[in-house]
Amino acid sequence: MTELSRRAVALRALHRPGDPLILPNAWDSGSARAVVAAGFPAVATSSAAVAEALGHADGEATPVAEMFAAVGRIAAAVPVAVTADLERGYGLRPAELVERLLAAGAVGGNIEDSDPRTGRLYDVEEQADLLAGIRAASRAAGVDLVLNARVDVHLRAYGPAEERLAEAVRRARRYRAAGADSVYPILLADPAQIREFVAGVDAPVNVLARPGAPAPAELAALGVARISYGSGVYAAARARAAELLATVRAGGDPFGS
């Protein structure tokens, strides 16, 4: 078994309903090292945070080579499994997407089911075909990638509000059947609906930690298997840096000494 295969196995095993993997998403080598130094067993990237740190907008505006180079620097900086936020794959065919991801040293990927540029949700079967293609390509490459299928029904306010949970469950089940390891109903935050979603899908569930969402302990009690922070840590770091710079500009001591 190769080192990448070992890391993929380790990452998959960390997805435990009721004892979730917590991923404060990184955006560069320094933040990835900080995540590991804080005691977290794996590192996830945030496409939005990586894009902004590289001078681009989110929504697949980052050139493919730059995005995978950033993932590669992160993976090279830490001794743990790295899973990368791949938006919807940057228009790459599954085999090339997998090849680039493995070359960067990552063993997991997050794939969303809406167009990053327009917000349009893809047909569920078209998305399932993409996920199945990535799964097949990863197995052909000898590393069974950990595939996290993002479900954007709530993010995009798709359809009538009272029908969104059922649609999210429907999509999640199909993505699981297509080969996804976990499913990610981004922006789903109501505890009762999270519990219903968890019960309705045969897959580890990823929830986004954000203001207004249940705390990690409550998410664990709801059966969640993975908690990610998206670009939240990056945004908080940027806000803190802005405060320090304002203090400097005003002639103060940013270090409180």
List, for residues 96-106, the tens digit of each pLDDT value: 999 999 999 99
Tokens of 20: 């979730």
Please report, for the chain, how many H helices and E strands are present, in that order. 10, 8
- Asked if residue 24 has pLDDT above 90, the reply is yes
Check which CATH number belongs to the domain holding 127 and give it: 3.20.20.60
Q: For position 75, what pLDDT does the model report?
A: 98
Is residue 134 one of the residues assigned to a domain? yes
In a domain, 255, yes or no: no
The residue-averaged pLDDT of 32-61 equals: 97
135 close to 149: Cβ distance less than 8 angstroms: no
Confidence of residue 256 (pLDDT cuts 50, 70, 90): confident
Rg value, the chain, Cα:
18
Q: How confident is the model at residue 1 (pLDDT cuts 50, 70, 90)?
A: confident
Give per-residue pLDDT as tens, 78-99.
Answer: 999 999 999 999 999 999 999 9
Task: Judge whether residue 237 has pLDDT over 90.
Answer: yes
Q: How many residues does the chain have?
A: 257
Q: Which domain holds residue 25?
A: 3-248
Average pLDDT over residues 6-25: 98
Per-residue pLDDT band for 47 (boundaries 50, 70, 90) equals very high
Do 53 and 71 touch, CB atoms closer than 8 A? no
Domain total in the chain: 1
Q: What is the SS3 assignment for 46?
A: coil
* Residue 145 included in any domain: yes
* Residue 253: inside a domain: no
pTM of the model: 0.95
Note whether residue 55 is domain-resident.
Answer: yes
